[in-house]
Structure 1
């Protein structure tokens, strides 16, 4: 049996930029929002703050859940996700972001963070790519977005 994983991702805007975790692997550069798995007995707000600090060295206030996506690796044509991964991701608004330290535990292949101009999102290898327009317009029309990449 493969457990369902729940994770939280911080959606942090500064002017017309979005804070992204920058990664490099055999695909080249790719980008995701900072965040990760919620640990056993950890609340969503604590996981939000821990993951943000680990991956960006920053702190922010946790706002509202903007949307939820589901990822089921076995239903996708990719070899870059762990086999049998089934993950629910909560994308949460981050407000009042402030740099406080250096990232303490970047993800595998993470080379840094970047404030990415919103107009550049369509040209990046960015996940979830189907949500680029919503991130650019800051309009999230539904909470549950379904199984998307």
Structure 2
């Protein structure tokens, strides 16, 4: 039986920029919102703080859930995701981001984090690509965004 994975992603804005986890693999550079899986017996706010610190070396105050995205790898035509992955992602606002140390546990293929100008998001290999306009406008219409890339 395959299990459902729940993750939290920290949406950090600073002026006209957004904080992204930067990755490199055979596709070249690609970007995602920092975050990851919630561990057993870990609260949402604990996972938010841990993932942000591990991937960016920073801290922030967890705000409201901006939107929920569902990923089902088996329903995608092509994917770099693990086979049979079914994940619910909670995109949460991050307020007052501060860098406090060097990132401690970068994800596979992650090379760092970067403050990316919002007007460059559409030019990147960024996931979820379909949410670029919402991130740029900082307007999220509806909490559940469904199964999207």
User: What TM-score range do you get, normalising by the shorter chain?
Assistant: over 0.9
Distance 1:18 1:141 in 2: 19
**Structure 1 residue ranges without an equivalent (≥5):** none
Match of 2:63 in 1: 63
Matches within 5 A, 1:1-149: 1-149=1-149
**Structure 2 residue ranges without an equivalent (≥5):** none
Q: Which runs of 4+ in 1 moved over 6 A?
A: none
What is the DSSP-based 3-state SS (H/G/I as helix, E as strand, rest coil) of the residue aligned with 1:104? coil
Distance 2:36 2:141 in 1: 23
How many pairs align? 149
Query: What TM-score, normalized to structure 1?
Result: 0.99
Distance 1:78 1:100 in 2: 38
Deviations 1:84-119 (A, max 9, x none): 000000000000000000000000000010000000
Cα RMSD of the aligned pairs, angstroms, is 0.4
Query: What TM-score, normalized to structure 2?
Result: 0.99
